[in-house]
Amino acid sequence: MSETQRLTRAALVRRFSFAFYLLLYPLPWLARGTTPLAVIAFLCGAGLFLVLPFLPGRFALTVGLRAGVYALIGAALIPFGGYWGIFFISAAATCGAIRSRVSRFCALAPILAAYGFLSWRLDEGLIGSLITLVVALGVLTTTRLSMDLHRQNEALAAAQEEIRALTLMTERKRFARDLHDTLGHSLTLIALKADLALRHLPDNPQGAACELHEIGEKTRQALAETRLAVSAIRLTSLKQELADGCLALQDAGISVAVNGDTTLMPPRSEAVLIMVLREALTNILRHAGAETCGITFRRNARDQAELEIRDTRSRETEEEITLSFREGNGITGMRARLVELDGSLVITPRRDGTTLLVTLGNAP
């Protein structure tokens, strides 16, 4: 359904829902009786009331003029003995749709003044006239608030649409950057290694074989990193993210051992843990030079959920913490997200690798 159709349908619903109030007009007939001419006059007035907002093109009236016509319908129906004040109430409600405060007052004041004058001349009774005026002002205020709320909802919907568009644009840029970082470097290195392998042939087949072996390893690593990059744009669960990450590590030749189950983690933390797991495994792929990776889900002695990611290199080293787990490279983002869940992140360097431990607090 288009926006124009939606607005037209909403206007029809409002118009015909208010038409039920027109049934107040014939109520006095129950006590005093009526004539066929009065019934015909009421039906004509009600029909004009219903179709007036939908007049096409050059026949369409402004909101202020429509309110005036509703008041004239009420005045015209006075001789037929019904509750003609309901049309003045409708006219006041219509004035509430006028945005300009000055224009709204200029349209409303003559309508209420006309009602007051006619009530006085027809000796309708002070209490009944005051009740009609109070109801008219009430529906005016209600319409005004309803229109304001409608405009705010439209502005909110427009802002949400803009946020979605900006989020999509940001995500596309991030994905393009990740693919460039992942494939650009890898493909350049593969092309370089292929050229070196060709230079080794036919005189140095052993050197060519070594280069081809490195091309195979780099290709598997590029494939694994591409899997993680693609999985980052899918809506996924922690269990699926774990499966994708393990497959990516295995494609890169890294052995993976998983202990525990993702169901040990609180559901409220799933989105954060997906981000932490993805960032950690991506960094292990790119920087750690690991041979094995252990992923453990568990509960500690205080019944706090813990996620431990432990990578192991083939040889021990005395160097500083591996690049993958230095502040920056997503680690700062992990800490910020975990603080929101009363959680913490501890990085422990070892001579043969690094251990990353995420602990989630007991906050609800």
Complete DSSP assignment for 205-237: HHHHHHHHHHHHHHHHHHHHHHHHHHHTTS---
- Give the model's pLDDT for residue 13: 66
- Give the model's pLDDT for residue 38: 92
CA distance 336 to 325: 15
CB distance 64 to 95 below 8 Å: yes
- Give the model's pLDDT for residue 321: 46
pLDDT tens-place values along the chain, 364 residues long: 555 556 556 656 666 667 778 888 898 998 888 899 999 999 999 888 888 888 887 888 888 898 999 999 999 999 998 999 999 998 998 888 888 889 889 999 999 999 999 998 888 888 888 988 999 899 889 888 888 888 888 888 888 888 888 877 877 777 677 666 666 666 777 787 788 788 888 888 888 888 888 888 778 777 776 766 666 555 568 888 888 888 888 877 889 999 999 889 988 888 888 888 888 887 787 766 788 999 999 999 888 999 999 998 876 555 544 444 555 556 777 788 788 788 888 888 888 888 999 998 765 5
- Give the model's pLDDT for residue 41: 93
pTM: predicted TM-score of the whole model, two decimal places:
0.49
Nearest to 21 by CA among 83, 79, 65: 83
Nearest to 25 by CA among 9, 42, 44: 42
Domains of the chain: 3-124 (no CATH), 236-364 (3.30.565.10)
Residue with tokens 């529906």: 139
Helix axes 185-200, 205-231, angle to 10 degrees: 170
CA distance 340 to 268: 11
